[in-house]
Structure 1
Amino acid sequence: MSDLPADTLLNVEDAPEDQEEPQLLPLDAWHRAHGGRMVPFAGYIMPVQYEGIMAEHLWCRENAGLFDVSHMGQLVFTGDGVDPAQALEAVLPGDITGLGQNRMRYSLLLNEEGGVLDDLMVTRRAGEEGTDEIYVVVNGATKYDDIGHFLDSMSDDITINLRDEQALLAVQGPKAVDAVSRLIPGVEALVFMTAGAFEWNGTPLWISRSGYTGEDGVEISIPAEHAAAFADAICAEPEVKPIGLGARDSLRLEAGLPLYGHDLDPETTPVMADLGFALSKRRREAGDFAGAARILAERESGPAVKRVGLIVTGRQPVREGASVVAEDGSVIGRVTSGGFAPTLGAPIAMAYVPAALAIVGTAVRLIQRGKVHDATVSAMPFVPHRYVRQSTKTGA
């Protein structure tokens, strides 16, 4: 069982009651054999923890952890005489056509009002036919809606292939690349937000140096039938242990990374969410993306509310759904993620507050279940990112 309170399992056990029967991950039996406590999440049964969230969190910060993120949608876009990168710019606000080979970019799927339908990772890579293809990883809970939106927004010359025969594994932590490179030489030459094709025991892999913890690490797309063997091999390395959803959530919260469906939704714009970096300069100048009029106006005049980090006074975490209140008790904002930060030894949260309060050091009050909590607006990330932006390969 957890070494933290039960309600520390943030955003994990929140599957709706009317959801269809959850699917099983390719590694379902592997997780159970390794002591994983399984829970429904994003339409799947997934491991929330193995030996305890606190221990797993700290292990990943100091060593390396294996995360199964096979619920995510792995999409490949190809074009029949059409550049799929150009087609994607109809629905994404980033410079996708300017993306170099094996280069990645964080982007946002937007609706016509500028609201966020999903956040995702985009990579240009060489396709099997010798032409470029675009590899996109989307959130698990939204992948089928995303595919529908893409199909509605693109011409029939674009083909979208959901690679559901592929598992997706992440190895994260300061010792992650050292461990992976023993199995897959050459991985250490990758830098943050680059990717490439590799092999392990004759099995083709697609590996990116990226992740969702704020730590260095890689994400590995591997044929599902080989995932368990690879999981065994990487966890045989002394630095690597399996890590569940609970620690994944607390790690990404410390890293200041939003979670779709909680910190991002169709009512939230990139400017409100403090994700303006995902709007490339060329696209801003052209104003040719979904929701551009509203988003550019918010960039010019400022949004009504902004996503901020909060350090909560005391030891009691404040959870998603808590209210941010003014001195007279009126509700002026909302907490979208919150929990105890093992690295800091203190509770933290993300919230949307009026823009005038989105200044580091501003004191705010939160109400959760009738109890008042004091908090202070903090810069994010709460824990510095440790991405590797220069090759660690000798002589590189």
Structure 2
Amino acid sequence: MLTINSNCENTEKKEKNPIKCNGIQLDHSQSAWFGVDYLVLSFKGSPLLKGQKSLKLDMHQYGNRTYKKMVDVYYSPSTDKPKEKYFIMNFEPKSEIIESDLVQIKLENHLFYTRSMQDLKKEIETITELLGISFHSCSRLDLALDVHGNSHGISTSLKQLNQGTLLFAGRPKEIAFYTKVKKGVVTCNGVGIGKKSAYKYCRIYNKTNEILIGKNSKPYILDAWRSVGFDIESMNILNYDYATNGQKKNFNRDTNNDIWRYEYQLNRAYLAKLKDFTFDNIFDKHFLFSLLEEAKKNHSELKYNTGKSEINKEKDFLMLDFKKIAQRIKAVRGVIERLPRTIKDTFIGTQRLIKGNLRNYFSYGQKLEFLMPIRQILDSNPILKDWYYSKVSNYIYEFKKDTKINFINENLYNSHFELYC
């Protein structure tokens, strides 16, 4: 019988279920950090930029592909502390098909590690109230769970996934392993599950290694890890010296204590399927942990083949035991309620149909017969409409590079699109 986890002793005779050798059951007393790592929010209104004594606003010289104006917003909750950057704000959409009063903000990464989510919520509410904008939706939300990789057998599990010993559950999906070669030995540092452009995308990777090889060591992440009980000193990160040219010097370190990150990237289409999703939910630890657990279902779950002569040879394999992790971080599970299924299984197919029609519209001299079906589909499905508005500028940018499309008149497109509003 095949032993699933190399961290366990040979259990060929004693242990009938290899799953008991895996995951957090190896050492469930280990620390864990959970929170948000990336957040983009959409608001409505016309930002009040003048007379803001409580804020510091730095206007960019140029906008981006979607918005004409970009502003760095600085704030301090205390008058005796210097203002720090909270987010970058984009407003005044270039395209007429995007609502003119839509405002998008991307929060700075350090905020999620340097204060509680409830404090951050109050601060964002204060800033957006000063700016005169109101919450509309969440465009992207990345949830991160950091654990000791060795205690959870993550590195070993990734090797077995690559070898086919462990299997991914659910439908066919794209998988990308992150590897490097050192002294001829291939090391797996993580895996990406799904497409980054999909409504959800999973990453499992060595976060300690990423911090060491990155340009920015992000000391606030180390402080957050230390606050939940991770032994940063034993990881030897603090002894990782910087050379004068900005490159980090090589040195030998014990990788057994490396921290691994289990992360889900969720976009607006996925979040729109949640019942009564509100601004408060984004800063609620119990809701977010339940959301992470919900996202992994039929996506990043693992199985193993028992090798027995039974009808169902595949059994669930726990790389992470969410029940015990929830106890560790004091999170309540199961608070997510999803809307009755209104999105059919052909949702992704419909997205492809829309993009194909849009490509044909530009390829054949912007003929209306290709644009009319798109409007009919979007008007009947508000979730698809939100998705379309978030993607159309990227699609047009992509089509402009297509040698088969000679010319794109965006003004004509906007007028055609508005004809069927």
TM-score for both structures, normalised by structure 2: 0.27
Relative to its length, the structure with more strand (as a share) is 1
Q: Which has the higher helix share?
A: 2
Larger of the two Rg values belongs to structure: 2
